[in-house]
């Protein structure tokens, strides 16, 4: 799968990924000690939803646009004391929605943040970000987006190599986001191997792994490999828009969280059905544990 992110920025998979990332960052912020965010495949940093690539796909209309519309409706419904099941969980979504609003201060949805900007928005003065991007155009854009940000460092390096070189961080707290483009069929295999090696070096770190769902075979094989690693705490969640497509297009977004923060699973039980309803009437979700300490 060639996942060129400029075409897919702000789609349902982006929203799913960034909502969960934001919740993890909120949990890290609960303690005063510094944390580090390591983004192995950081992308361009910021995306123009009205630009040629995003406009051609239009995927953001069924992603962030629908979620913002649902949030506005939930705000109005809350004022009218409507039933809770009809509303988005605005309190849990507030940090994420605040990032989108701050990026589009005039109220017109045009810009969408990549994961480095999501992280930057929730970092405190003591926190740090390492954003890795090898593709020249994306790396140049990322450097421009983060220029002048003393808390962030952009590395023009292969994300898989950077992951091994940057764990454990000096802060000993933080999250590693692994979100490769899946241009190579081996990326699914490399994902489980990379997690195994990184977890061996930094067993207390939080790891957030994104994967595309076209068919069940690749996702299920990844889950099986991760179960065999012997890592004690692995949570997963998926959002699917429907059955596999004849053109082998993206039908689902998957996330795996190694060492999830306490209560994250409970938050996702509230967030996932609400997000699925916002994306599409027939969208579904799954949430469970690949491994859990007894």
Q: What is the pLDDT of residue 84?
A: 44
Q: Are strands 36-39 and 46-48 parallel, antiparallel or unpaired?
A: unpaired
What is the pTM for the complete model shown? 0.94
Q: How many CB atoms lie within 10 A of CB 49?
A: 22
Quickly name the fold that domain 5-291 has: Rossmann fold (3.40.50)
Q: How far apart are CA 46 and CA 13, in angstroms?
A: 16
Q: Can you list the residues of the chain whose pLDDT is less than 70?
A: 1-4, 78-87, 248, 294
- Give the phi and the psi of residue 53 in degrees, each rounded to 5: -70, -50
Determine the Cα–Cα distance for residues 62 and 242; give it in Å rounded to an integer. 14
Q: What is the dihedral of CA 63, 64, 68, 71, to 10 degrees?
A: 60
Q: In the numeric block, which tokens belong to residue 7?
A: 């075409």
User: Which ranges in 136-229 belong to alpha helices (H)?
Assistant: 136-145, 159-165, 187-201, 216-227
Q: What confidence score (pLDDT) does residue 1 get?
A: 39
Q: What is the torsion angle, in degrees rounded to the nearest 10, for the CA atoms of residue 283, residue 52, residue 50 and residue 184?
A: 40
What was the pLDDT predicted at 248? 67
* Residue 240: predicted pLDDT: 96
Q: What integer pLDDT is reported at residue 184 of this predicted model? A: 79
Residues recorded for the chain: 294
Q: What's the pLDDT at 85?
A: 45
Distance CA 137, CA 153 (A): 17
The answer to whether 16 and 256 have CB atoms below 8 angstroms apart is no
pLDDT value at residue 78: 64
Give me the percent of the chain exceeding a pLDDT of 90: 81
Q: Which residue shows structure tokens 């990379």?
A: 194
What is the reported pLDDT for 55?
80
The catalytic site residues sit at 179
How do the domains of the chain map onto residue ranges?
Answer: 5-291
Whose structure tokens read 């009809």?
86
Q: Exposed, middle or buried: residue 136 (CB in 10 Å: 0-12, 13-18, 19+)?
A: exposed
Look at residue 14 in the predicted model and tell me its pLDDT: 97
């Amino acid at each position: 799968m060639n996942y060129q992110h400029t075409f897919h920025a702000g789609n349902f998979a982006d929203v799913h990924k960034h909502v969960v990332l934001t919740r993890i960052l909120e949990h890290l912020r609960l303690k005063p000690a510094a944390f580090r965010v390591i983004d192995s495949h950081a992308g361009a940093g910021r995306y123009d939803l009205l630009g040629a690539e995003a406009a051609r796909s239009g995927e953001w209309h069924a992603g962030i646009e629908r979620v913002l519309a649902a949030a506005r409706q939930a705000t109005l419904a809350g004022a009218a004391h409507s039933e809770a099941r009809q509303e988005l969980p605005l309190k849990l979504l507030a940090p994420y929605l605040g990032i989108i609003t701050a990026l589009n201060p005039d109220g017109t949805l045009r810009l969408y943040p990549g994961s480095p900007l999501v992280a930057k928005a929730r970092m405190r003065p003591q926190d740090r970000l390492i954003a890795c991007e090898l593709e020249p155009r994306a790396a140049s854009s990322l450097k421009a987006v983060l220029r002048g940000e003393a808390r962030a460092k952009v590395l023009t390096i292969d994300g898989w190599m950077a992951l091994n070189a940057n764990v454990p961080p000096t802060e000993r707290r933080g999250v590693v986001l692994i979100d490769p483009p899946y241009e190579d069929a081996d990326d699914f295999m490399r994902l489980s191997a990379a997690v195994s090696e990184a977890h061996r070096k930094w067993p207390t770190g939080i790891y957030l792994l994104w994967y595309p769902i076209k068919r069940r075979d690749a996702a299920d094989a990844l889950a099986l490999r991760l179960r065999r690693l012997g890592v004690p705490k692995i949570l997963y969640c998926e959002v699917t828009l429907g059955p596999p497509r004849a053109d082998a297009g993206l039908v689902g977004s998957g996330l795996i969280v190694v060492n999830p923060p306490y209560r994250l699973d409970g938050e996702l039980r509230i967030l996932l059905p609400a997000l699925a309803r916002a994306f599409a009437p027939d969208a579904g979700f799954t949430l469970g544990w690949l491994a859990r300490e007894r």
